[in-house]
Every structure is written in C-alpha cells, then in structure tokens.
Amino acid sequence: MKMELQTKEITIEDNNYKVVYLQSDSLALTKLPELKEILQSEINNGNKYLGIDMTEVTTMNSSGLGILINCLKVAKDNKGNIKILNASDKIRNIFRITKLDTVFEFSNTN
C-alpha cells in the first residue's frame, strides 16, 4: 500500500518548515523506501526545514529511526533541520529509549 502524503508550510521559531504529514500508522519496512525518497526529495528541492507530522504513526522500528537520522544529517549538512511534530507518547518513548530525543527536536502543533 502506498504511503499517503500531504504537505503544507508553517512557521516554527522564525523558520518556514515544510510539514510532511505521514498518513500511515506504521513506519515499518514496507514503507521506508518511499518515506526516504519523499524526505530526500523535499530536501533536494530546497526545503531544508522539514517538519514530520507523526499524529497518525503508532509504530516505528529501528529502520524507521535510521531513515529519520539519515534525513536529519542531510538537512543539517544543508544548514537545515528536521522537527518531529505531534508524536504520541509511545513514539516519543522510542526516541527516549534510543536517546535520540537529544538529537531530534519535538513540537506539538495541534
């Protein structure tokens, strides 16, 4: 099943972020190549500030984290940033357990 995607622009802390709304409950292996392609395409198109809205995401594995880390590195190499938006407590706990909550920034926009 193809990953559903919507985008819009918002301002967070004086930067214009292109928000990518993940409309899937899982960041698992079957959807990761598409997610990586989407995020890298946004960065390559000059959108160096990305917000990833995880409102609907309920599960994520280490491969999903790997994609996010890789895209964050690419964004930072281009003097940009990636923020995780509207992540549930369960998803935020995955970032905490892996200590990636010190690498990624989180915001709630709802």
pLDDT, average across residues 61-65: 87
Q: Using CA of residue 104, residue 98, residue 93, residue 22, what is the dihedral sign? A: positive
Single pTM value for the model = 0.81
∠ at Cα 107 (102, 110), nearest 5°? Answer: 155
- pLDDT greater at residue 103 or residue 19: 103
Does 6 score more than 80 pLDDT? no
In angstroms, rounded to a whole number, what is the distance separating the alpha carbons of residues 91 and 53?
12
Q: Where are the domains of the chain?
A: 18-107
CA 20 to chain centre: 7
pLDDT of residue 26: 66
| pLDDT tier for residue 8 given thresholds of 50, 70 and 90 | low
9 pairs with which residues across the strands? 18
In angstroms, rounded to a whole number, what is the distance separating the alpha carbons of residues 53 and 51?
6
User: CATH fold of 18-107, please?
Assistant: Transcription Regulator spoIIAA (3.30.750)
- pLDDT greater at residue 32 or residue 43: 43
Question: What pLDDT, in 10s, does the model give residues 67-77?
Answer: 899 989 989 99
